[in-house]
Amino acid sequence: MSGKFLSPACPAFFLFFLLAGQFLFPLNFEDPGSPEELAAAIVNAMSDEEALAQTFMLGWVGAEPSPLIMDWIRDRRIGGVKIFGWNTGDTRNLARTVGILQRTSLEGKYHIPLLVATDQEGGWIRHVKGDTSETPGNMAIGASGYPRDAYLAGYYIGRELAVLGINMNFAPTVDLFTNRESSLIGTRAFGSDPARTGILGTAFMKGQMAAGVVPTAKHYPGHGDTDLDSHGVLPQIGVSFDVLWEREMVPYRMLAKEGLPAVMSGHLAFPNTQAADTPASLSSWFLKDILRDRIAYRGVVITDDLMMNGATMSAGSLSKAAKQALLAGNDIVMLSKTPSLWDPIWTALVTAMGEEEEFRNRVRDAARRVLELKFSHLRGEGHVPYIPDPSKLETELPSPEGGAFFLDLAARSVTVIRGGGSAIPLTREDAGRVLLAGQYEDFFRAGKAAYPDAQNYWYSLERGLNDFAYFVRRSDTVIFCISDSEGLKIIESIKNLNKRVIVFSVLNPAYLEELPWTDGALAVYSYAPESFVAGFSALLGRIQAGGSLPYE
């Protein structure tokens, strides 16, 4: 071999240098380069187990990081963790925990940070509690009708998550309000209109991304047309694919065109489609043929919790469900609890990678997508800090600007359903003796501020209907807060007592359809404190109730 061939001036020398570079200088998450190139390079350098680990997202039980979740991060180098409500009572402790988890992950060979995810949709799905904002939620945004409200809701929710080091949010929920009896979706939906949901979902997505947080649309292909909960069973939704395509899938089609980075697949069966009884989360037809090929979605797909019965009952076991999920096209398998290090969900998948080329290639492709997502969103200007800054918790939780916005949103979304101009507004003088009947402290607090002389009554079926009727007879006006079917039974018991009855609806407003005999009804869509304040302000006539029902 001539000296000329190895000369530094020769292009071949640089080619040799580049090819050997990965051995001379180990790859690092902070290396320069495009997300696509870096993700491909790292996955090519990874062992099968290292690649498989990137497809795992695990939760754990307790406020402190368990020894087992630390083992999975330190020994397996998993790709992500999921924050659940049982981890989040103390936001300062949560921030410390996120810092511990990320420091451990960053000590790995490639210094790859974790995806740290949670469910902070707004409204009643708020897994990170503590000092974070309670918000009016998606249906309130749908009632206001302004995409800017969706954008700012996503932004301010994202800002609070970023302070805690949480870099991924399982929101927006773009399920439609199709089945009014659904206790699972309800006001988590923006409304029933597919295109409007797509517009608001896109705005929410962009607000989250502006805050540095990775948004995740769910539950693909659509959870709104069932009253069953896939935590316990596998819902069967008997619509045709044509209906799905023109209804539930419209928001996903719109979001995909706008660069949606992540989708959560739902444990839902659609027997009148080619997937038959296979859950969408385990169906290659739904995930590859439709989502990847027809919709042209290019981001990451993550399963809903695989420990939910809707997934494991169909597959036969957790390890089989995980393998089927990855083969079907999911890139991340999410588990709410931490399995043992040598659980079959790990050992069976490692064995399959060694024996089945198709599965091995699929896992490596999934790991590449996960790393592309991380390179695109977890570094660079504006990314969520890996280690939360404790000093920011005092000033940015809850967000002062967010609090003012969410109160404005609550006011814009208040919807008078019945009695506008006759029973609503209701002045203190016209109300007479007021009885506030409800089940929320914030309802009574806001109600007493509006009607200082009102009496409070905390209702329940156990307390008895006769007891309630006694207090109603001693009143001129009953303002009844309803949020569920129990409340519907109780309010029906006073139908013939000839009192002025105003219904104050939180959560699912469909119950109001069962109460045409009441004098007035308004909806606020949430039990956030701001929603109660806004509702009573509208009831008094101090603000204009400008919201409209976001469903037909």
Cβ–Cβ under 8 Å, residues 36 and 372: yes
Distance CA 377, CA 439 (A): 42
d(CA 446, CA 501): 18
Listed in sequence order, the residues at least 6 apart from 552 whose beta carbon sits closer than 8 Å to its beta carbon are 192, 193
Active site residue 219: no
Neighbours of 201 (CB within 10 A): 29
Distance CA 487, CA 118 (A): 31
- Report the amino acid identity of residue 65: P
Angle between helices 147-163 and 194-210 (to 10 degrees): 40
> Per the residue annotation, which of 31, 90, 229, 231 is the catalytic one?
231
CA distance 257 to 298: 10
| Torsion-angle region of 371 (φ positive above 0: left; ψ -120 to 50: alpha; else: beta) | alpha
Give the residue among 102, 153, 454, 152 at the shortest CA–CA distance from 481: 454
Of 175, 193, 225, 304, which residue is the catalytic one? 304
304 is catalytic: yes
**Alpha-carbon torsion, ordered 81, 85, 90, 96, to 10 deg:** 0
CB 117 within 8 A of CB 216: yes
Catalytic residues: 231, 304
